[in-house]
Amino acid sequence: MPLFGSTFSPKKTPPRKCASLSNLHLLDRSTREIELGLEYGTPTMNLAGQSLKFENGQWVAESGSFTGDRREMQRLRRRNQQLEEENNLLRLKVDILLDMLSETTAESHLMEKELEELKNHGRRRK
């Protein structure tokens, strides 16, 4: 019986076969998609009773699934248009106010500079 060594020596495992045991690689693409479930279809979701599907990069209401009132939809569109116009007007007002502020600040700096020059000129005379 060895003191520092171990008598346990496991057998080496045989190398694995490199070929796949699956026969799916022998199938053509369409059969593999069916077998593996790679055909997802278009994404759909249901919001507030309205079914939407994702087509060409946009969510589109499925035909016949809209249960809302057409007048309500028109009212919401008009309200959206009003809010967009109001937003544009407010952006214009902010731009005008920023221009006025920068003009006033520039004039103020010029006046301060002129005042300093006048003070320095007056001190030189004394």
Q: Is the domain of 77 the same as that of 113?
A: yes
> By residue range, what is the domain housing residue 114?
66-125
**Does the residue 80 lie in any domain?**
yes
End position of a domain, from candidates 64, 91, 113 = 64
Asked if residue 88 and residue 53 are part of one domain, the reply reads no
Instruction: Let me know if residue 11 belongs to a domain.
Output: no
Judged by DSSP in three states, 25 sits in: helix
Question: Can you read off the two tokens belonging to residue 99?
Answer: 């221009």
Total domains in the fold of the chain: 2
- From 12, 36, 64, the end of a domain falls on 64
pLDDT tens readout for residues 91-117: 999 999 999 999 999 999 999 999 999
What does the pLDDT read at residue 10?
75
61: left (phi over 0), alpha (psi -120 to 50) or beta: beta
Residue 1 has pLDDT above 70, yes or no: no
pLDDT tier at 55, thresholds 50, 70, 90: confident
The answer as to whether 2 is a domain residue is no
